[in-house]
């Protein structure tokens, strides 16, 4: 009996070696194992099974791999094997193949993934049980590992479960050319995606997530990926998006992607994103030759305007919660940028209203600047100042009671086209995009006076995407509906903005720096005040001791020349302007202490 067992073990080992060699040759894999032995009369036990790709990243390691089959008939195929029982399975994320010039070969990456799934399908028996799966993904800093307690495959259906947390059901067809998955939470707890947290520092939670993926091969080595994705109870949080958790709720999309050798394209004719009352068909193509090329487009014509505002996530744009409008909107967006020729960048973003009207304000009266109102100033969520912007405030100055030089000086430094645009200046935004993309960092902004004013009056100072989007929406609503006149907006701006350490409004500023009333400010003094607007809290950075640094004199010369060229001041005013302003009062004391 012992001799029979020894002979059977030897035969089993040699048989497995021949079968694995055939698999290695057919699929370009390297298969290793510690031992192969019979496990009873109808199964084979493989210890320490490792499958290595040609990269050479480890694709799979199984501490124990039991093949349920009639050993004497088994050909290691789906028809001959009844089931697998795997214990302690480790799977590592495969790195993308790179072309000889360093470009990622996306089509080959998809092709290799499909080949690997075809290999899996060829050997998946009717029943598979896996206990303790460990997924490892390597990011720029380290490798993260995630544990899945169990996965069961029966027929072409699968089920995975983390006890007390979530359940995943799925199905697939031949060669995994179609895969459908549904992941949902148990016992009223939401599913948390750890990969997103570790890779992007974000939190993504949901009640249910469904994914449908179909793969096809097109001509010219282009892979087609299509299907759908949906989520219920979706929550997002990232500090760059919003300080608060964003309650997305329900979201769904159908998609079709073309993946080529060096490009990825979202087909707008077969891609539709649906969220609440909105639906749209985006186009995106990302291509890598010598440099990246990105083209994105979105057009949506004559849709009910109220659909936009009722679809905004609750709590994300707090000033607009409850806002109701009538009429229709059309939107056109186009971005086309070749990183090899950034100066030729094309950017278009146009909203066209028709019969648009605000029916009901939300949490905030967006017309409040057109009349006296109380302005509150916050620092780190704590209110530090509060004053009325109106005639009952002795420091308030109407537009015509302020030096005539101050508005053009501010326009030169901040927004020379203020009276000619409706809240946004496309040329400035274009220049900002070109410079920031060229340098690879944020070097230049494109905020207009309208945007700065809305930020100060309606919003907090959080530098997040949500705050910026709310700022854009409020500016558009105010400017396009003429809720506040341009002159009143400029008047409010000069009476509330920060001009120095705890110095707010032009009256305090004129008193702090020059010990005079705003109506008597000279051209040179107004240019100085315009110069410090970007960083008034860091006043000492503009000075060496009590003298202004040389950068100010460059700004001054440019300001008087351009103001005269634009007929904002006369050439006589420009000739008489004096850059050496005389500081008096608290400012001099502040700078010398």
Residue of 148, 151, 150, 156 whose CA lies nearest to 124:
156
- In angstroms, the CA 506 to CA 494 distance is 6
All structural domains of the chain, each given as residue ranges with its CATH number in brackets, are: 290-364 (no CATH), 368-592 (1.10.3810.10)
Q: Which of 421, 410, 429 shows the shortest CA–CA distance to 518? A: 410
Q: What confidence score (pLDDT) does residue 114 get?
A: 57
Q: Is 73 exposed, middle or buried (0-12, 13-18, 19+ CB in 10 A)?
A: exposed
Q: What is the pLDDT of residues 237-286, one digit of tens each?
A: 888 888 888 899 999 999 999 988 888 999 999 999 999 999 999 999 99
Beta strands 263-266 and 208-217, pairing class? unpaired
User: Rounded to the nearest 10 degrees, how much is the dihedral formed by the CA atoms of 154, 157, 162, 165?
Assistant: -140
C-alpha of 573 from chain center: 48
Per-residue pLDDT tens over the stretch 93-143: 655 444 444 445 555 555 555 555 555 655 677 888 888 888 877 655 666
pLDDT in tens, 294-326: 999 999 999 999 999 999 988 788 899 999 999
From the centroid of its chain, how far is CA 388?
38
Number of neighbours of residue 124 by Cβ within 10 angstroms: 20
As a whole number of angstroms, the distance between CA 89 and CA 268 comes to 40
Q: How far is CA 336 from the centre of its chain?
A: 18
CA atoms within 13 Å, Cβ hemisphere of 395: 19
In sequence order, the 6+-apart residues with CB closer than 8 A to the CB of 312 are: 320, 321
Indicate left, alpha or beta for 394 from its phi (over 0: left) and psi (-120 to 50: alpha): alpha
Low-confidence stretches of the chain (pLDDT beneath 50):
1-8, 56, 74, 76, 78, 96-103
Q: Do β-strands 382-389 and 498-500 pair in parallel, antiparallel, or remain unpaired?
A: unpaired
Q: Are 425 and 540 in contact (CB under 8 A)?
A: no
């Amino acid at each position: 009996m012992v001799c029979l067992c020894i002979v059977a073990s030897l035969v089993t080992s040699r048989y497995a070696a021949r079968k694995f060699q055939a698999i290695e040759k057919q699929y370009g894999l390297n298969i290793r194992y510690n031992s192969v032995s019979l496990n009873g009369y109808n199964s084979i036990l493989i210890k320490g099974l490792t499958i290595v790709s040609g990269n050479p990243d480890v694709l799979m390691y199984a501490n124990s791999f039991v093949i349920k089959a009639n050993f004497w008939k088994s050909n290691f195929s789906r028809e001959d094997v009844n089931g697998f029982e795997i214990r302690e399975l480790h799977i590592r994320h495969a790195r993308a193949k790179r072309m000889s010039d360093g470009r990622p070969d996306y089509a080959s990456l998809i092709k290799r993934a499909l080949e690997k799934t075809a290999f899996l399908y060829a050997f998946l028996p009717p029943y598979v049980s896996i206990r303790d799966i460990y997924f490892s993904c390597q990011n720029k800093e380290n490798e993260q590992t995630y544990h899945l307690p169990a996965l069961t495959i029966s027929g072409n259906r699968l089920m995975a479960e983390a006890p007390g947390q979530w359940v995943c059901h799925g199905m697939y067809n031949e060669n995994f050319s179609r895969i459908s998955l549904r992941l949902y939470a148990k016992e009223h707890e939401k599913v948390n995606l750890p990969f997103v947290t570790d890779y992007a520092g974000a939190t993504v939670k949901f009640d249910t997530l469904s994914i449908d993926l179909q793969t096809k091969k097109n001509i010219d080595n282009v892979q087609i990926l299509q299907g759908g994705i949906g989520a219920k109870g979706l929550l997002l949080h990232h500090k760059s998006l919003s300080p608060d958790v964003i309650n997305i709720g329900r979201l769904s999309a159908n998609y079709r992607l073309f993946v080529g050798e060096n490009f990825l394209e979202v087909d707008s004719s077969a891609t539709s994103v649906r969220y609440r009352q909105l639906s749209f068909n985006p186009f995106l193509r990302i291509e890598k030759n010598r440099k990246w090329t990105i083209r994105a487009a979105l057009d949506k014509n004559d849709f009910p305007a109220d659909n936009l505002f009722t679809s905004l996530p609750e709590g994300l744009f707090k000033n607009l919660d409850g806002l109701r409008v009538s009429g229709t909107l059309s939107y056109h967006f186009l971005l086309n940028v070749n990183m090899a020729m950034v100066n030729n960048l094309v950017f278009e973003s146009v909203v066209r209203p028709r019969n648009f009207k605000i029916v009901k304000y939300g949490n905030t009266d967006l017309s409040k600047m057109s009349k006296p109102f109380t302005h509150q100033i916050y620092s780190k969520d704590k209110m530090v100042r509060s004053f009325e912007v109106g005639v009952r405030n002795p420091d308030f100055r109407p537009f015509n009671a302020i030096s005539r030089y101050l508005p053009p000086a501010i326009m030169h430094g901040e927004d020379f086209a203020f009276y000619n645009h409706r809240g946004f200046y496309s040329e400035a935004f274009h220049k900002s995009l070109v410079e920031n993309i060229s340098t690879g960092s944020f070097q230049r902004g494109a905020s207009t006076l309208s945007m700065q004013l809305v930020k100060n009056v309606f919003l907090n100072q959080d530098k997040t995407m949500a705050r910026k989007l709310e700022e854009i929406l409020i500016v558009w609503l105010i400017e396009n509906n003429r809720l506040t006149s341009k002159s009143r907006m400029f008047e409010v701006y000069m009476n509330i903005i920060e001009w120095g350490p705890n110095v707010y409004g032009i009256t305090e500023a004129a008193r702090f720096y020059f010990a005079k009333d705003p109506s008597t400010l000279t051209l040179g003094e107004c240019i100085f005040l315009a110069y410090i607007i970007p960083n008034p809290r860091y006043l000492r950075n503009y000075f060496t001791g009590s003298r202004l640094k040389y950068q100010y004199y460059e700004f001054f010369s440019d300001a008087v020349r351009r103001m005269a060229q634009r007929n904002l001041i006369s050439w006589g005013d420009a000739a008489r302007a004096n850059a050496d302003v005389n500081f008096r009062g608290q400012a001099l004391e502040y700078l010398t202490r």
